[in-house]
Amino acid sequence: GQNIDQPTEMTATEGAIVQINCTYQTSGFNGLFWYQQHAGEAPTFLSYNVLDGLEEKGRFSSFLSRSKGYSYLLLKELQMKDSASYLCALHQGGKLIFGQGTELSVKP
Amino acid sequence: DAMVIQNPRYQVTQFGKPVTLSCSQTLNHNVMYWYQQKSSQAPKLLFHYYDKDFNNEADTPDNFQSRRPNTSFCFLDIRSPGLGDAAMYLCATSRTGGGYEQYFGPGTRLTVT
């Protein structure tokens, strides 16, 4: 199995920076996705990492280390609207295997 | 706007009464997926179509079936819903090949009474 692990929930303050980690155990995969999901809504695409390293996209950045079986999503200048669930997903065999998601609460 | 559309957004059915959920897309993507997501859990892939080729996940119950009459439409049929089938059902599409993101519809929340 892929054994994808994320913290269940995190809390951060508006304007701060937060890092959401994702660890996995798998024999091989094409890349790793991060999705954002607000309560009762569909997941929306944030980032996709294929190679090791940091991918930056505005306030959001994602990092992948294949050798360490580790990824993180970095959110800067947090806003209240960033309160949501963040899902990491391995892209493997044409399918996405999701982690359970990290529920992020942004407080004023 | 091009998008993935799911109807209805909310569906209530009775225990054991067949129900069909619909998904359509204007993206002209050749791959379509159905996921089940229960509260505070990850989306769980039920099956997917690569064009007309149907791919069932090994642990998807026989109670769940799917049809894809053309590129644009895909249906999820639950033949005899149980209380445990109450969940959000998400449809997604993507293009073939590695690295293409999946575009999700808004989901249908199914309640079984």
Q: Average pLDDT across each block of 10 residues of chain B; the chain has 113 residues. List them in order.
A: 87 96 94 93 92 92 96 96 96 80 93 97
Task: Please indicate whether residue A94 or residue B65 has the higher confidence score (pLDDT).
Answer: B65
Closest chain B CA to residue A100: B42
Residue B63 CB partners (closer than 8 Å, separation 6+): B78, B79, B80, B81, B82, B85
With a pLDDT cut of 70, the percent of chain A lying above it is 97
Confidence of residue A1 (pLDDT cuts 50, 70, 90): low
pLDDT of residue A2: 63
pLDDT at B97: 61
Give pLDDT, residue A40. Answer: 84
CB contact under 8 A, B42 and A100: yes
Lookup result for tokens 């957004």:
B9
CA distance B78 to chain A (A): 21
Residue B105's closest CA among A91, A38, A100, A44?
Answer: A44
Distance CA B34, CA B41 (A): 15
Q: Give the position of tokens 């024999």.
A: A27
What's the rounded Cα separation, in Å, for the pair A15 and A66? Answer: 30
Pairing between β-strand A9-13 and β-strand B10-13 as defined by DSSP bridges: unpaired
Mean pLDDT, chain A, rounded, equals 93
Instruction: Inform me whether the pLDDT recorded for A65 exceeds 60.
Output: yes
A22-56: b (≥16 Cβ within 10 Å) or e:
bebeeeebebbbbbbbeeeebbeebbbbeeeeebe
Q: What is the pLDDT of residue B2?
A: 61
